[in-house]
Amino acid sequence: MTDSRESKGLARLTSEAMSGKIDRRQFMQGALTFGLGLTAASGLWTREVAAQTPKSGGSFRVGLDDGNTADSLDPATYNSRFMITMAHTKNNFLTEIAPDNQVTGELAEAFEASKDAKTWTFKIRKGVEFHNGKTFDANDALASLNYHREEASKSAAKSLLDGIEEIKADDANTLTIKLKSGNADLPYALTDYHLIMMASKDGKVDPQEKAGTGAYKLEEFEAGIRATLSKNANYWKQDRGHFADVSFIAVNDVVARQSALLANSFDAIIEVDYNTSEHLAKDAAVKLDEVPSGTHVGMPMMCDVAPFDNADLRMALKLGCNRQVLIDRILKGHGSIGNDHPIAPVMPFFDASHAQREYDPDKARALVKKAGLEGATINLSAADTVITGAVDMATLYAEMARQIGITVNVVREPNDSYWSDVWLKKPFCMAGWGQRPTPDIIFSLGYAAGADWNESHFKNDRFNKLLVEARAEIDAKKRTEMYGEMQRLVSDDGGTIIPFFRNWLYARRANVAHSGQLSANWPLDGARGAERWWFA
C-alpha cells in the first residue's frame, strides 16, 4: 500500500468517525490496519475526532453589537446585525449560504431553473414543523415571499423580488416562481436575511409571530437589549443546533464585549477591536476567527442633495481619501483596499482590470475649485455601531478633506438609533454593508434606481439597463463584462466612497468549537454560529 493510499484511508476513516458512522473501537481497528501504532492512533482520535465531534448541551451566551431600540420581529424591518443574527437562529430560509460560501437548499431541498432562468421550481422539504407545531409547506413559502411584495410593503427586500411575475404553490411541496426576465442568481437572492419563512393562515403571515422553523425557539425579546432562545427538540437538521439554549445580549461597546468574553460572561462576541486583537489573541482561553469578506464601510453622499449633486465634488472627495491610511489605522491591516464600488475581490465577477483609484489631493483640489466649492463645510454623521472606530475613521477622513479645501464637520450620532434616524436620512454619513453573495443582490439592494436602500440616491440609466440584462444573462463571459462595466459606473459616477473591505474578526472562548470552515457573508459563521457550533 502506498503512503498516498494510507493517507486517503485515514482521512476517510476520520471523516466517518466524526460523522458518527463508526465508534472509537472501529476507528482504532481501522487506524491500526492503515499502519498506525496504538499511541499514534489514539492521538489521532483525540486530536481529530473527539475534539471536533459536536457535543450537545450548554448555554451559549453571545455578545452582539448593533442593538437598536427600533428593532422589531417584523422581518421587513431588519437592518441591524442583532436581528440578522437572530433571524438565522430562530428561522430558516428557502436556501442558505453554506460554510463554503456556495448556495444550497434549506427549506427547499432542491431547486431547478428553466433554460432561460425565468421559471424556477423549488421542492419543499417534507416533515418540517414550526415551533408552534404547524407543518411547513409551499403555501407558507408563498405567503412569506408575498409579504415583501405587497404594494404597501416597506421591506428592503422588495427590490430583490421586483422581477417576480408570479409565485404559486403547485402542491404542498412544490413552489414555482416565474420571473419577468431571467435571473440566474435567484437561489442566492432568497438567502437575504429579510426572507425568513413564516407560518401562514389564509394566505397571510403575522410578521410579529415568534414561531419559526429554526434550531432555537424564541422565548423572550427586548428590542435593543437581549433575546433568549431554547433548543428546538424537533429541529429537522439532526446535525445542527447543539446548545441547550442561546442568549443574545446587545453590548454596543467593543471594550465591554471583550471584557465580558475574558471574564467568561460571554462564550462568543460578534466583533473584536482591531486595535487590541493581538493582545486578545495571546489569551489561551480565547480563540479569534478571521474571515476575508466583501463587508465594507462606505460614506454615501446623496447625489440629488447639494452640494453632493455636483459630480466634481463627489470625485474630489473620493480622490482625497487616502485608503491605505484608513486600512492601516482603522483596520490594523485586517482588510483589502476598496475602489468606490461594493464588489470585493473575494466575490464572483470582481473586475480586477479596473484601475485602482489612487490618493491624489492635487487633482482633488482642482476639482473642488472647478466646482466652486473651495472652503465649503459639510457634515459627516458617524457612530461606532457602523464599525468599531467609525468616529475615528470619520475624523481621519476630515483631516484628509482639509488638504483638498473642504471642511468636514464630524457629527457623532447615537449608536442605538443610528440605523433608524441617521442612515438613509442624513445626506452624508457612514454606513456598513455585509457581504452579499452576488453582485446582482448588492446592486439591486443599494444602487438600483428606486431601491429602498439606495443610500446615495444613485441613478444611472446605463447601470439600470445593465442590471436587468446581466441578471438574465447565462453566458458567464458576457456576464463578467457587464458586471465589470457596472463596477466602473458606480465607482466613477456614484455617490459612495468605499475605501476598504474588511475582514470579519470575532472571538469565542476556547471551549467553543466549529468545523473550521466559516461563511463569509456575516460574522459568527454567516450569523449561524448558534446553529453550527458546539461546546467541545
Which of 383, 220, 217 lies closest to 299 in space, CA to CA? 383
Q: Which of 174, 205, 236 is the last residue of a domain?
A: 205
Q: Residue 22 pLDDT more than 90? A: no
Q: What are phi and psi of 513, to 5 degrees?
A: -115, 155
CATH number of the domain within which 253 lies: 3.40.190.10
Average pLDDT of the segment spanning 131-143? 98
Say how many C-beta atoms besides its own lie within 10 A of residue 229's C-beta: 26
Which of 387, 427, 393, 172 lies closest to 293 in space, CA to CA? 387
Measure CA 44 to chain center.
35
State the pLDDT confidence band at 66, using cuts at 50, 70 and 90. confident
Residues 105 and 170 both lie in one domain: yes
Evaluated on CA atoms 19, 20, 26, 27, the torsion sign reads positive
Beta-bridge partners for 512: 535
Q: CA dist 482 to 90, 147, 467, 497, Å?
A: 38, 32, 8, 22
Residues 327 and 429 both lie in one domain: yes
C-alpha cell at 82: 442583532
pTM of the model: 0.82
Helix H or strand E encompassing 64: strand 59-64
Q: Amino acid identity, residue 185?
A: D
DSSP class of residue 357?
A: P
Evaluated on CA atoms 421, 425, 431, 432, the torsion sign reads positive
H-assigned helices in 270-357: 277-281, 311-319, 323-330
Q: Residue 251 domain-assigned?
A: yes
What's the number of domains the chain is made of? 4
Q: In sequence order, what are the residues at sequence separation of 6 or more whose Cβ sits closer than 8 angstroms to the Cβ of residue 402?
A: 408
218: helix, coil or strand?
Answer: strand
Residues 382 and 497 both lie in one domain: yes
Residues 446 and 493 both lie in one domain: yes
Q: Residue 80 domain-assigned?
A: no
Cβ atoms of residues 124 and 109 within 8 Å: yes
State the pLDDT confidence band at 224, using cuts at 50, 70 and 90. very high
Average pLDDT of the segment spanning 442-471? 96
Q: Which of 154, 171, 205 is the last residue of a domain?
A: 205
Helix H or strand E encompassing 465: helix 461-472
Q: Determine the pLDDT at residue 9.
A: 78
Q: Residue 32 domain-assigned?
A: yes
Separation between Cα atoms, residue 94 and residue 128, nearest integer Å? 12
Q: Residue 82 domain-assigned?
A: no
Separation between Cα atoms, residue 81 and residue 477, nearest integer Å? 35
Residues 302 and 248 both lie in one domain: no
Q: What is the pLDDT of residues 428-439, one digit of tens each?
A: 999 999 999 999
State the pLDDT confidence band at 51, using cuts at 50, 70 and 90. low
Residues 189 and 270 both lie in one domain: no
The more confidently predicted of residues 3 and 10 is 10
Residues 33 and 134 both lie in one domain: no
Q: Residue 308 domain-assigned?
A: yes
Q: Residue 366 pLDDT more than 70? A: yes
Q: What is the pLDDT of residues 457-477, one digit of tens each?
A: 999 999 999 999 999 998 889
Residues 235 and 356 both lie in one domain: no
Residues 482 and 343 both lie in one domain: yes
What domain range is 378 assigned to?
Answer: 296-502
Separation between Cα atoms, residue 263 and residue 10, nearest integer Å? 39
Average pLDDT of the segment spanning 235-257? 96
175: helix, coil or strand?
Answer: strand
CATH number of the domain within which 105 lies: 3.90.76.10
- b/e for 83-93, b at 16 or more Cβ within 10 A? bbbbbbbbbbb
Residues 509 and 491 both lie in one domain: no
Average pLDDT of the segment spanning 58-68? 94
Measure CA 220 to chain center.
24
Q: Residue 69 domain-assigned?
A: no
Q: Residue 67 domain-assigned?
A: no
Q: Residue 451 pLDDT more than 90? A: yes
Q: In sequence order, what are the residues at sequence separation of 6 or more whose Cβ sits closer than 8 angstroms to the Cβ of residue 230?
A: 216, 217, 219, 244, 245, 246
State the pLDDT confidence band at 2, using cuts at 50, 70 and 90. very low
Helix H or strand E encompassing 226: strand 226-231
Average pLDDT of the segment spanning 499-528? 95
Q: What is the pLDDT of residues 277-306, one digit of tens each?
A: 999 999 999 999 999 999 999 999 999 999
Q: Residue 60 domain-assigned?
A: no
Residues 389 and 497 both lie in one domain: yes
Average pLDDT score over the chain: 94
Cβ atoms of residues 490 and 357 within 8 Å: no
Q: Amino acid identity, residue 41?
A: A
Most confident segment among 120-124, 155-159, 383-387, 475-479: 120-124
The more confidently predicted of residues 33 and 489 is 489
Separation between Cα atoms, residue 227 and residue 248, nearest integer Å? 5
CATH number of the domain within which 343 lies: 3.10.105.10
Q: Which of 137, 170, 205 is the last residue of a domain?
A: 205
Residues 302 and 278 both lie in one domain: no
